Structure 1
Amino acid sequence: MSRGTISADEREAGAFAPLRQPGFRWLWPAVVVSYVGVWGQTVGAQWLLVNGPNASVTVALIQTAATLPMMLFTFPGGVLADRFDRRWILLATQLYVAATAVVLALLTAAGLATPPVVLSFTFLIALGGAFQLPTWQATLPEIVPRKELGSATRLEMVGVNFGRSVGPALAGVLIALAGVPWVFILTAATALVLAGSVLTWRRQPQTVAPRARERFLPALRAGIRYVRHDASVRRILLKAMLFIAPATILWALIPMVAREQLGVSAGGYGALFGALGVGAILAALTVGRLRALMSTNTLLVFAGIAYALVLAALVLVPVFAVALVALVIAGAAWTAIIATLNAELQVILPAWVRARGLAVYLVVFTGSQAVASILWGQLAAYAGITVAFLAAAALVLATTLTGLLLRMPETRGVNPDAIAYWADISGLIELQPTGGPILITVEYTVENAEHAAFLATTADLRRSRLRNGATRWELYRVAETPDLFVETFAVDSWEEHQSQHQDRLTAADQRIEQATQSYISKPPTSRHLIPPDTT
């Protein structure tokens, strides 16, 4: 399906264009190195358990332990990333990961790495990632231009898959030569590499004035409200969940495929991950060009079908060479889907809530992985690897075909930059920032012939108010004056309403208000109602 004519400004940059940006060129390689350590730790943990009792379940639980912190703590991490300097959050998380990995290495060397210990420390190390990932992803729009976000996101996925391939390969070598404790030392060392890069990063001066720091709980609630009331964000999240839940069987049970279906050692296991990394690189080089030839929806459908076929091929044709080729395709398909969804989300999220929105995406991503990994592990233990993979392939195919109905939102031409078009609110009774709640009323005079058209626009107006901070919204008609309508919406505090005026409204919100006001016969009148005991 053709996307139509794309202007030079809308056309995506080349695959490696983000590397021309100093910030990305400095930080991204260090982030990739940290992924090598994280995936090495995961493989080291899995290898400690792969020969133990109930291996199908315990090995799958490593994936759950590695992803559960994302589900539980990524959103608070996103709130912090929207409130504090992201540079220092990245630094602190890497120092924490390094210290935790060293402790796990010492426990393993002492022979104390029981399954509960391994699972617990896998959880603790992943906890650092729950704060790192939303912070790093929210930093991307700061260090690369808007048209390079898609390329930067695919390079990020290349980094993830490079870590998935090189990390296990290095882990396999270290296990064979020196033992599992050195895998965890590798994790600590790679975390320190990223910490050093962040510490020496020459951050570009910000072009906009820093915003007042939001309080934690109000910021948490504001992020939830935005995601809840933005239809485009919800659709992207739903598409991600529908794909990830069945597709994650590959990451959860590939050690069992390597051992039971293919009969390979640690070195062969690393080669399988290497094939996934090659596929990710191929996706980074080609997806940008494919998106110029087909719609986002078409690309997602083709990639989903390819992934489903790979899952089936891995268990129906258990030949090592075939598995390598299939995993190249799987790495390309996975990267194409995940990077596309991530990039589309970054394009539409406003700066004030970007880290929180990406954090919700990561919660959905990793939560789907955590829950699905347990279920796939149980199914494999009960019915066997072949049945589990064929069931997952069928589900990937079914959920992919829903993309023909559940289409991606249009993001071309979307500009999430804040614009301050509401009237100045200075000169009102002085309020404390935490004072509230505040009730805002807007009166509209609408001629009788325009009532139906006016009311048709207010559904979008309601969503705009709620996603930008309103806790409730209502519309009334004045009985004594039938042509007078009164909109009311409430916000928790005065600082919340000031944020609406200063940095939450976008061109999309302005168009919604203009559509509503196109049916009124005189300018609207607004009032701010405050608690009666305010002095």
Structure 2
Amino acid sequence: MSRQLQRRTFFTIIGEEIGQFERRASKSVNGQERTLETAPSVQSIEASALSPLRHPVFRSLWLASVVSNVGTWMQAVGAAWLMTSLAPSPVMVALVQAANTLPMFLLALPAGALADIIDRRRLLLFAQCWMMLAAAVLGFLTVYSITDAWLLLLLTFSLGIGAALNAPAWQAIVLDVVPRSDLTAAVSLNSAGFNVARAVGPTLGGIVIAASGPGAVFLINAASFLAVVIVLFLWRKPATRSVLPAERVFGAIRTGIRYVRHAPALQAIFLRAVAFIGFGSSIRALLPVITRFELERGPTAYGVLLGFLGAGSVAGAFLMPAMRRRMNVDALLAFSALLFAGMLFTFAGVRVFWVLCAAMFAGGVAWLALLSTFNASVQAAVPVWVRGRALSVYLLIFFGGLAGGSALWGAVAEAISLSASLVIAGAGTILGLVATMQFSLSRRQTEGLEPAMDWPTPTLVGGGVETGRGAVLVTIEYRIDPARQREFVGAMQRLRRIRRRDGALRWGLGRDTTDPERFIEFYVVESWTEHLRQHERLTVADRAAFEHARSFHTADLPPSVSHFVFLSGKNEGA
């Protein structure tokens, strides 16, 4: 009875906090109820390591995710252990990990597109319920001794599908529940919670397996998803409304890739992430071999070393605000990369266990500082309409770097030696830092990414045009003083990136050969609907760039804008 009361009280408190938060986020304007942004004001809370936990929705989601992640790590231990009984082959055991991670490679981009074109809360509810169902089915089948090796792989793959669908949306909602000033701290707390679960989950999983078998672990994991499902169900996220039809998945993927191609700020983050992850993956790939053959210790020592890495990551979450106050983003990344390289050099030449534990702790601090900075930088550099897709590309890079890097460093260590490969990895971490320092993250634009709601929307006069099909040519005519034409062309290059980033297939700028003051900007969009989406995607910063370019226009009337719709060959032969 008391346990039921405790559970009821826990969920009642969560519901009350979310309800109170949403009631505060709603106020009356001219007698009508208007829903405000879920995230509080940037000025409302001073940034600190724990300040995101002051926001009820984030706090509830964070606590629920820690519980769920503990269950996930218990599941990983149980699945691997069960496979050693069902099919005691190294290949089959390795396939368990492959079945869990392969969906992330296959579905990262579609999942990111879904996170942007449908309601993220509903997508998360679907993904969490999917994983809960898959874990429950696996648990019951295992308890009744029905599970075989291939069924285990199939249901593990199903769990991986849910995790892949969940990841971009889960990271994209951070800015929906905390202000931008708390973004880095919130990302760090999420990473710390994950590392706490990684330290606790495998140990609990081993205890439960020894006492009740793998089936009990799978059922516990299924139950752990319930906390996240309840919090998401109680959270009433304000819906983002659009008069335009939702994008299709494959079209949304193309739009996301196009955005990345024409967003130098994102490319800088991805390049710096690749330069680190490729070399940073070496320690995770080689640590089991170092522990067993170099240190001549067993799985307990391996778990202790991983525990110190996780403890360092948790400590890093608390140290991040202080480090951010003392150095800018580029200096923080440089310091963290050097610290991580120092850990690799230590493992290359030292075989004293407690020294290696201390090195792992320092490496954990560096690991969290680097990855949380990359993640927060991606979220801070993009507007809300493409946030899920940008994060999905980052996740693809991250998991691809871990998988590819692990295989690479295993081959390098086998070809030369463990110590030499770690020295190369440490030196590569430093060289990667030096090579990518030109791509500064401190000078990136993070303000003005909210939608410019007052930008005029073009109208389509007359019928007979399929708004979802047929390319659209847009032309804008400018009158430019010859003395300022060089400045004007420079300003238009920024517009070129904005147009291409937001959906233009082609862009150009031409000058009239008979009238040197007359310039024509033109670009092509795949459909009228996509052109209207361009107007919806325009941010406050984009509007400032447009107004700067138009400030060179010398005529009394605004620049003349024309739209031409391709008629799919209807005029041919006329």
Do both proteins adopt the same fold according to a TM-score greater than 0.5, normalized to the shorter chain?
A: yes
| AA matched with 1:193 | A
Distance (whole Å) between structure 1 residues aligned to residue 363 and residue 153 of structure 2? 27
After superposition, residues 335-414 of structure 1 pair within 5 angstroms as 335-411=368-444, 414=447
| AA matched with 1:147 | S
User: Do the aligned partners of 1:64 and 1:371 also contact (CA within 8 Å) in 2?
Assistant: no
Distance (whole Å) between structure 2 residues aligned to residue 347 and residue 449 of structure 1? 38
Q: 1:318 aligns with which of 351, 354, 376?
A: 351
Of stretches 506-515 and 286-295 in structure 1, the one that deviates more from structure 2 is 506-515
DSSP-derived class of the 1:292 partner: helix
Of stretches 81-90 and 525-534 in structure 1, the one that deviates more from structure 2 is 525-534
1:75-115 deviation line (CA, Å, top 9, x unaligned): 1111111122222221221222233335555469859765x
Distance (whole Å) between structure 1 residues aligned to residue 209 and residue 353 of structure 2? 22
Distance (whole Å) between structure 2 residues aligned to residue 323 and residue 39 of structure 1? 24
Instruction: Give the match for residue 516 of structure 1.
Output: 549
| AA matched with 1:504 | R
Instruction: Give the match for residue 424 of structure 1.
Output: 457
Instruction: Give the match for residue 505 of structure 2.
Output: 471
Distance (whole Å) between structure 2 residues aligned to residue 379 and residue 50 of structure 1? 28
Q: 1:404 to 1:223 in 2, by over 3 A?
A: closer
Instruction: Give the match for residue 533 of structure 2.
Output: 499
User: Do the aligned partners of 2:330 and 2:442 also contact (CA within 8 Å) in 1?
Assistant: no
Distance (whole Å) between structure 2 residues aligned to residue 378 and residue 49 of structure 1? 26
DSSP-derived class of the 2:559 partner: strand
Instruction: Give the match for residue 74 of structure 1.
Output: 108
| AA matched with 1:464 | I
| Residue 282, structure 1, aligned to residue 292, structure 2 | no
TM-score normalised per structure 1: 0.88
| Residue 307, structure 1, aligned to residue 335, structure 2 | no
DSSP-derived class of the 2:477 partner: strand
Instruction: Give the match for residue 532 of structure 1.
Output: 567
After superposition, residues 52-451 of structure 1 pair within 5 angstroms as 65-102=99-136, 106=141, 122-199=156-233, 201-206=234-239, 209-210=241-242, 212=244, 213-411=246-444, 414-426=447-459, 428-430=461-463, 431-451=465-485
Q: 1:462 to 1:423 in 2, by over 3 A?
A: same
Q: 1:532 to 1:406 in 2, by over 3 A?
A: closer
Of stretches 258-267 and 491-500 in structure 1, the one that deviates more from structure 2 is 258-267
| AA matched with 2:195 | N
DSSP-derived class of the 2:47 partner: coil
Q: 1:222 to 1:524 in 2, by over 3 A?
A: same
Distance (whole Å) between structure 2 residues aligned to residue 87 and residue 59 of structure 1? 35
> How far did residue 168 of structure 1 move?
2.1
User: Do the aligned partners of 1:60 and 1:377 also contact (CA within 8 Å) in 2?
Assistant: no
1:240-286 deviation line (CA, Å, top 9, x unaligned): 11111221233334333443344444444433332222212211111
After superposition, residues 2-17 of structure 1 pair within 5 angstroms as 9=43, 13-17=47-51
DSSP-derived class of the 2:326 partner: coil
Distance (whole Å) between structure 2 residues aligned to residue 164 and residue 113 of structure 1? 27
Instruction: Give the match for residue 5 of structure 1.
Output: none
User: Do the aligned partners of 1:74 and 1:130 also contact (CA within 8 Å) in 2?
Assistant: yes
Distance (whole Å) between structure 1 residues aligned to residue 99 and residue 442 of structure 2? 33
> How far did residue 204 of structure 1 move?
4.3
Q: 2:514 aligns with which of 466, 470, 480?
A: 480
User: Do the aligned partners of 1:64 and 1:374 also contact (CA within 8 Å) in 2?
Assistant: no
> How far did residue 397 of structure 1 move?
2.3
Distance (whole Å) between structure 1 residues aligned to residue 496 and residue 49 of structure 2? 40
TM-score normalised per structure 2: 0.82
| AA matched with 1:98 | M
User: Do the aligned partners of 1:68 and 1:366 also contact (CA within 8 Å) in 2?
Assistant: no
DSSP-derived class of the 2:236 partner: coil
Distance (whole Å) between structure 1 residues aligned to residue 243 and residue 370 of structure 2? 34
Distance (whole Å) between structure 1 residues aligned to residue 484 and residue 546 of structure 2? 16
The one of the two structures with greater contact order (alpha-carbon pairs below 8 A, sep at least 6) is: 1
Of stretches 85-94 and 171-180 in structure 1, the one that deviates more from structure 2 is 171-180
| AA matched with 2:482 | N
Distance (whole Å) between structure 2 residues aligned to residue 357 and residue 145 of structure 1? 19
Q: 1:11 to 1:480 in 2, by over 3 A?
A: farther
User: Do the aligned partners of 2:316 and 2:366 also contact (CA within 8 Å) in 1?
Assistant: yes
User: Do the aligned partners of 2:52 and 2:58 also contact (CA within 8 Å) in 1?
Assistant: yes
Distance (whole Å) between structure 2 residues aligned to residue 109 and residue 314 of structure 1? 45
DSSP-derived class of the 1:304 partner: helix
> How far did residue 518 of structure 1 move?
2.7
DSSP-derived class of the 1:482 partner: coil
Distance (whole Å) between structure 1 residues aligned to residue 425 and residue 473 of structure 2? 50
1:420-479 deviation line (CA, Å, top 9, x unaligned): 354332363355441321111111111222222222222211101011111111122222
Q: 1:99 to 1:261 in 2, by over 3 A?
A: farther
| AA matched with 1:229 | H
Q: 1:365 to 1:9 in 2, by over 3 A?
A: same
Distance (whole Å) between structure 2 residues aligned to residue 325 and residue 109 of structure 1? 45
Q: 1:409 to 1:528 in 2, by over 3 A?
A: farther
DSSP-derived class of the 1:443 partner: strand
Distance (whole Å) between structure 1 residues aligned to residue 430 and residue 300 of structure 2? 31
User: Do the aligned partners of 2:110 and 2:250 also contact (CA within 8 Å) in 1?
Assistant: no
Distance (whole Å) between structure 1 residues aligned to residue 243 and residue 186 of structure 2? 26
Q: 1:466 to 1:374 in 2, by over 3 A?
A: same
| AA matched with 1:73 | L
| AA matched with 1:529 | F
Which sections of structure 1, spanning at least 5 residues, go unmatched?
1-7
Larger Rg: 2
| AA matched with 1:172 | G
1:204-232 deviation line (CA, Å, top 9, x unaligned): 445x6456422223222211111110000
> How far did residue 141 of structure 1 move?
0.9
Distance (whole Å) between structure 2 residues aligned to residue 285 and residue 359 of structure 1? 27
| AA matched with 1:202 | W
**Identical positions, percent:** 36
Instruction: Give the match for residue 3 of structure 1.
Output: none
